[in-house]
Structure 1
Amino acid sequence: MKIEILTLFPELVEQVVRFGIPRKAVEAGILELKARDIRDYSEDRDRRVDDRPYGGGPGMVMEAEPLTAAIAAAKAAIGEARVIGLSPQGEPLTQDWVRRLALEPGLILLCGRYEGPDERAMRAVDVELSLGDFVLSGGELPAMALVDAIARWLPGALGHEQSAPNDSFASGLLDHPHYTRPEHWRGEAVPEVLLSGDHAKVARWRLKQALGATWLKRPDLLAGLELNKEQTRLLREFIAEAGLDSPDSDVL
């Protein structure tokens, strides 16, 4: 996959492929990332890319011309690709979005700054995505988060091919708890089922814990799922074993 990040701070976004899974993906030749400086497409001798907003008000607005020129240059370099704008006004970035974008041959990520881009430049953007309902100084950190998330889904990037499908949100649920050595630590022991060697029991326990964690921490996710009879039974078991109040009838 080829990804172009259009930004005013190329040195910042390049850091994402210098560590961890994105670095391994680059070294394996399954990910190529280029940070393209939007200032290189400015028509101003001082490489200025922003100006005062029409209608008045605080802040500056990114000019349409350097943005559209940078997008055109990125498309010329990697071919026709979806243009993703990182913006607090965008759709929530979910695991489903990550999976879908990881199937693309190439992506162009546009990082806004200041009060945002001139609206006319947004005509070239295919979709806007947001990390959440809060405001950052620019789109660079969301772009880096998206690259990291996508890298996990590229074939060969992870040490185990089932690591990404087993991540939180991959099945609509949060992840189950994880344990490693030592077996006993500060008075707490690893759940016996994980030491049993019975793969069916382990899978059932993990599903129960994932359902329970989602019910406790993100009931909004659970409300959007249609649980089958086995999942419903496991969630009821989790609630009973934990001595918790019964969930809303809308969920179970």
Structure 2
Amino acid sequence: MHIDIISVVPGLLEGPFSHSILKRAEEKGLATVRVYNLRDFAIGKQKQVDDYAFGGGAGMVMMVEPIAKCIENLQSQRDYDEIIYMTPDGETFDQPMANSLSLQKNLLILCGHYKGVDERIRERYITKEISIGDFVLSGGELAAAVVADAVIRLIPGVLNDETSALTDSFQDHLLAPPVYTRPAEWQGMNVPEVLLSGHEAKINEWRFEASVRRTRERRPDLWAKSGLGESDLKKRKK
């Protein structure tokens, strides 16, 4: 997978892609992330990338020309499966979307900033708009890093245990069950006996029931999406 990111503050993205899983993914040749400074495509000696909004109002707007120039330059180098704009009014990012994007080969992500981008950019180039939640950040850089991390870790071979990503929270609209490690007893608190039994079927059943219980208690909205009902739970126990 190849991900290109366009930003006016590329320094914000240096850390996330220089460590841990994302770094290992690049070292293994499984994913490449490149960040492009929009000011390299800016107008005039001042490297201007923003201007006042027509009609007035507070805040600046990212100009159409630098963004168009940057996107078209990158498009001349590769074909993108999606050109994504990170924006608060985009579709809410979730695990199914991450799964879908992980199947693509080339992604281009435009990070919003200031009051956003000239609407003509969205109409001409953008194929998908994504939000990571109902809140506002200073820019789209951190949101782009979130999307890249969630997508890249799903690529086969990125994680040491390839089954790990398939058992994460949200993969089946259920939260992950509680997890424990050594010691088995700590300050009077014990690990559930079933997890020490070595009985795989019973352990899997306990984990499923714990996932269901946690999801129903903490995220009833996810539970509703799971499509599971009492009859399904009873069938599983049989």
Short-chain TM bin: over 0.9
Letter of the 1:151 partner, please give it: I
Is 1:51 the counterpart of 2:55? The answer is no
The offset of 1:193, in angstroms, is 0.5
2:133 — aligned with what? 132
Number of residues of Structure 1 aligned to a counterpart in Structure 2: 236
Letter of the 1:74 partner, please give it: L
1:106 — aligned with what? 106
1:203 — aligned with what? 204
State, as a whole percentage, how many aligned pairs show the same letter.
40
2 CA distance for matches of 1:145 and 1:226?
Answer: 27
Q: Normalising to structure 1: TM-score of the pair?
A: 0.90
Contact 2:174/2:223 (CA < 8 Å) preserved in 1?
Answer: yes
2 CA distance for matches of 1:108 and 1:235?
Answer: 42
Contact 2:172/2:226 (CA < 8 Å) preserved in 1?
Answer: no
**Structure 1 SS opposite 2:114:** coil
2:225 — aligned with what? 224
Q: Normalising to structure 2: TM-score of the pair?
A: 0.95
1:157 — aligned with what? 158
1:27 — aligned with what? 27
The offset of 1:230, in angstroms, is 6.1
Letter of the 2:167 partner, please give it: N
Alignment of 1:235-250 (within 5 A): none
Alpha carbons of structure 1 residues 18 and 173: separation in structure 2 relative to 1, 3 Å: same
1:146 — aligned with what? 147
Letter of the 2:210 partner, please give it: Q
The offset of 1:231, in angstroms, is 4.3
- Please list every run of 5 or more consecutive structure 2 residues that lacks an aligned counterpart in the other structure: none
The offset of 1:233, in angstroms, is 3.5
1:185 — aligned with what? 186
The offset of 1:5, in angstroms, is 0.3
**Structure 1 SS opposite 2:89:** strand
Deviation string for 1:192-247 (max 9, x for gaps)? 010111100001000000001100110011112221556433999xxxxxxxxxxx
2 CA distance for matches of 1:19 and 1:129?
Answer: 24
2 CA distance for matches of 1:21 and 1:55?
Answer: 45
1:12 — aligned with what? 12
Deviation string for 1:8-59 (max 9, x for gaps)? 1122213222111111101101011110111111122211110000000001
Alpha carbons of structure 1 residues 58 and 70: separation in structure 2 relative to 1, 3 Å: same
**Structure 2 SS opposite 1:18:** coil
- Please list every run of 5 or more consecutive structure 1 residues that lacks an aligned counterpart in the other structure: 237-252
2:2 — aligned with what? 2
The offset of 1:105, in angstroms, is 0.3
**Structure 2 SS opposite 1:165:** helix
Contact 2:80/2:108 (CA < 8 Å) preserved in 1?
Answer: no
1:76 — aligned with what? 76
Bigger drift between 75-84 and 176-185 goes to 75-84
Deviation string for 1:154-192 (max 9, x for gaps)? 111101010000000011111011000000011111100
Please provide the CA RMSD for this pair: 1.7
Deviation string for 1:54-81 (max 9, x for gaps)? 0000010000111111111222233233
Deviation string for 1:116-151 (max 9, x for gaps)? 000001121111111111000000000011111112
Contact 1:68/1:121 (CA < 8 Å) preserved in 2?
Answer: yes
Bigger drift between 44-53 and 219-228 goes to 219-228
**Structure 2 SS opposite 1:77:** coil
